[in-house]
């Protein structure tokens, strides 16, 4: 099945059939899906908090890495991509129960490497929580 069409069919629903067990644990809701551009919504859960009650930076980084991986699926490529680096800037906090939006964009689509960005926003996109940039490498592993 066309992976982008499948992502589009899930708009407004939880992405329960992701091939990533970690993504299934995160329980994202698909907000929008286009080739090279996704928006997923997450609800910050208690187990995602740091000791002072804010969204943990490691969870933020994991969301960025995972949703960028899903963005590679939107390209309908026959092979997997792997992350070779992640650079993340943190700008604001997230609190338990808050909905956040992860929005991705492809910056550069090469034959072997892809540079992509993910921004994590509050629910109405008035406050940027974090921004991550990644380089991903095309593997020889087929789906």
Distance CA 53, CA 7 (A): 32
Sign of the dihedral defined by the CA atoms of residues 116, 64, 137, 89, in that order:
positive
pLDDT in tens, 15-55: 998 888 999 999 999 999 999 999 999 999 999 999 999 99
CATH fourth-level superfamily of 3-142: Hotdog Thioesterase (3.10.129.10)
Q: From residue 91, give the alpha-carbon distance in Å to each of 23, 55, 94, 128, 131.
A: 23, 12, 10, 6, 8
pLDDT in tens, 55-101: 999 999 999 999 999 999 999 988 889 999 999 999 999 999 999 99
pTM across the whole model: 0.94
């Amino acid at each position: 099945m066309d992976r982008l069409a499948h992502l589009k069919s899930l708009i407004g629903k939880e992405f329960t059939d992701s091939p990533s067990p970690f993504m299934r644990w995160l329980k994202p809701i698909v907000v929008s899906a286009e080739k090279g551009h996704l928006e997923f919504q997450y609800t910050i859960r208690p187990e995602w908090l740091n000791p002072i009650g804010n969204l943990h930076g490691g969870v933020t980084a994991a969301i960025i890495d995972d949703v960028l991986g899903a963005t590679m699926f939107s390209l309908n490529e026959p092979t997997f991509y792997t992350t070779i680096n992640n650079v993340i800037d943190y700008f604001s906090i997230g609190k338990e129960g808050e909905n956040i939006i992860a929005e991705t964009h492809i910056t550069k689509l090469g034959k072997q490497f892809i540079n992509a960005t993910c921004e994590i926003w509050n629910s109405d996109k008035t406050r940027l929580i974090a921004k991550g940039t990644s380089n991903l490498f095309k593997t020889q592993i087929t789906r």
